[in-house]
Every structure is written in structure tokens, then in C-alpha cells.
Amino acid sequence: MSLQGRDLLSIHDLTCDEVQLIMQTSTKLKELKKRGQEHALLKGKTLGMIFQKSSTRTRVSFEVGMWQLGGMAIFLNDSNSQIGRGEPIKDTARVLSRYVDAIMIRTFSHEAVEELAYFADIPVINGLTDKLHPCQALTDIFTASEYKGDLRGKTMVYIGDGNNMAQSLMFACARVGMNLRLATPDGYDPDNELYQQACKDSQEMGSKIEVLHDIRQAVEGADVLYTDVWASMGQEKEQEIRRQALKDFTIDADLLKLAAKDAIVMHCLPAHRGEEITDEVMECSQSVVFDQAENRLHVQKAIMALLMGGL
């Protein structure tokens, strides 16, 4: 099995075995890093990184990851490249294909990433769109499995906005046989077409993806509680409306008590303490948010090594 030359736009495009390959490779690369053993699998290779939205984790983990793999990464944004001055994405795709070995892009429109991938001759990695954040969700199932072992039959509960994270987790859970309950307020459900697609995907491993509106019922016995911000990047103007709509969708200590005793709490970060999660829960012993953030590095190194032909 090889992922060489492939894009990573959505976890839906990966088979269950390919997801397992990414998980196993992540484990190996994490071990090598912890042992201080060199693993320059992408010596002499370069990654172009296009950012049209802010980032701390994604930028640093991709850039450091490329360095640790023996390659280098180039940071491009609207103000330091021609992208912000309107150079068409299809031209950027073909130009970058002549210089670098893969492109990671974070932008608003998912269709723009699809267009970039269509016109590029090199692997394109989705570093977050309004629709999906696959690198984060792959990291999340990797992190969950470090704590919970085999995820088949285990249950994750996502609380909050049915956004890019919720939508990516549907596909990630489906591929590893994990049940996912999405507890969202009315009007904030994940996209129905994606939901139907993920439900179909989940049949292969026999897990269940459900959208519920009763948060306490959803959390009952959960192995993993997960949340994300109420207003995503690009939704700043809706902040107040969203604060009202989502005000009862906070992970606090009372809610956590309804989950399994050994449940873990996850958040992709950045977190808005006092909104989707309390400071107390963020800082409690069940919270694994910083391990989760660290794992972005290991999992993305695995993704790059596999897609860019280092393995």
C-alpha cells in the first residue's frame, strides 16, 4: 500500500487501511523523535505552505516537521506572495509544482483547494478549509487511540458547532469504527450531504454517527468529549449570535461527570475558555489537549512522508 503522490483533501478519500497506515507511521515517527533518532525521510524536499487564515499549530508543526524530516518549508500568505493580489489559484498551482514537492494550504473555500489540487502535479494537503480540517481529525483519532487503544466501538461526543472540525471527525471516526455523537444546537448541524456520506462510510467498520440536540443525553457514558470554538475563522461577525445559540453547549465539570469515569477531553485549539469549555475542564487531569496539539507534528510528518515518497 502506498500513498505516494496522493492529495489529502478529505479523510473520506482514504480507505480504512490507509488511515491505519497513517496511524502506524505516526507511531513510528513519534518513537524515533522521542528516541532522538534521525529520520530524514524527505531530505532535499520542500513544502510550500499557503496560509490565508491565521495559524499557530498548523504552521509550526508543518514547518518544524519538514525540517525534522530533512527538508524545508516555505511560508506564503496573501501579503508576501501574489496570491493576495489575485493571481489565479490554477496558475499558482502550476508554478509551485515546478519548485516544491508538495503544497499545504489553509484557506476559506474548500473548492479553491480542490482547484489547486486539480491543477497541481504534486500532492496537496488541506490544512483547513471552512468545510474540513483532515490533518487535525487524523491527529485526533491518533491521540484518542493512544489513550483508549482500539477505537472500534468506543464513543466520541462532539459538543458545539457542526463546523469543519465536526465534519472532519465524522469521516475520521467512520474510518476507525468509532461511534460519534454530535451534540449541536438547532440550526448548527453539520452539512447534511457530508453527514450522509460519513454515515455511509461508517457502515464498513460498523460504527454509528448521530446528530443529537440533547447534550446531556449525548454525553452519557462517552469515552471522549470533544469541542471547538463557537465562531470559526471567518465567522467573527457572527460571534454574538453564535454565543447566544451555543450558550448551553459548554463542556464543564458537571457535564464531564456524565461521561465514562476515564473519559478524556479533547479540543483542537485555540480554545475560548468560558465559552465552549471551562478553564477548569481545560486544566483538569482528563484533558489531553496539549498531547493532542503535540501529535499534530507526528501525524503530519507521517502524512508528508507517505504522500511525498519518503516511505
State which residue, 53 or 94, has the beta carbon closest to ligand NVA.
53
**Cell 479523510 sits on residue:** 11
Phi, psi of 145 (to 5 degrees): -70, -25
Q: Residue numbers of the site for ligand CP (CB under 6 A)?
A: 55-58, 128, 136, 268-269
Residue 130 three-state SS:
coil
Q: By the 8 A CB rule, do 166 and 158 touch?
A: yes
Q: Determine whether 133 is an active site residue.
A: yes
State which residue, 175 or 296, has the beta carbon closest to ligand CP.
296
Footprint of ligand NVA on 99-158 (CB under 6 A): 128
Measured N-to-C along each axis, helices 134-148 and 289-307 cross at an angle, to the nearest 10 degrees, of 120
Q: How far is the CB of 271 from ligand CP (least distance, A)?
A: 10
Q: By the 8 A CB rule, do 151 and 179 touch?
A: no
Q: How far is the CB of 184 from ligand NVA (least distance, A)?
A: 13
The stretch among 15-23, 43-51, 88-96, 159-167 that binds ligand NVA (CB under 6 A) is 159-167
DSSP string, 180-196: EEEE--TT-PPPHHHHH
Annotated active-site residue in 201, 223, 268, 292: 268
DSSP string, 7-72: -BS-GGGS-HHHHHHHHHHHHHHHHHHHHT----TTTT-EEEEEESS--SHHHHHHHHHHHHTT-E
Q: How far apart are CA 207 and CA 122, in angstroms?
A: 34
The residue type at 130: D
**Which partner, ligand NVA, ligand CP, none, binds residue 229 by CB below 5 to 8 Å per kind?**
ligand NVA
Q: Is residue 165 at the binding interface for ligand NVA, with CB under 6 A as the rule?
A: yes
Footprint of ligand NVA on 241-270 (CB under 6 A): 268
Footprint of ligand NVA on 201-240 (CB under 6 A): 228-229, 232-233
State which residue, 9 or 21, has the beta carbon closest to ligand NVA.
9
Q: Determine whether 284 is an active site residue.
A: no
Among 92, 107, 126, 164, binds ligand NVA (CB under 6 A): 164
Annotated active-site residue in 6, 59, 175, 296: 296
Q: Determine whether 213 is an active site residue.
A: no
Active site residues: 106, 133, 136, 228, 268, 296
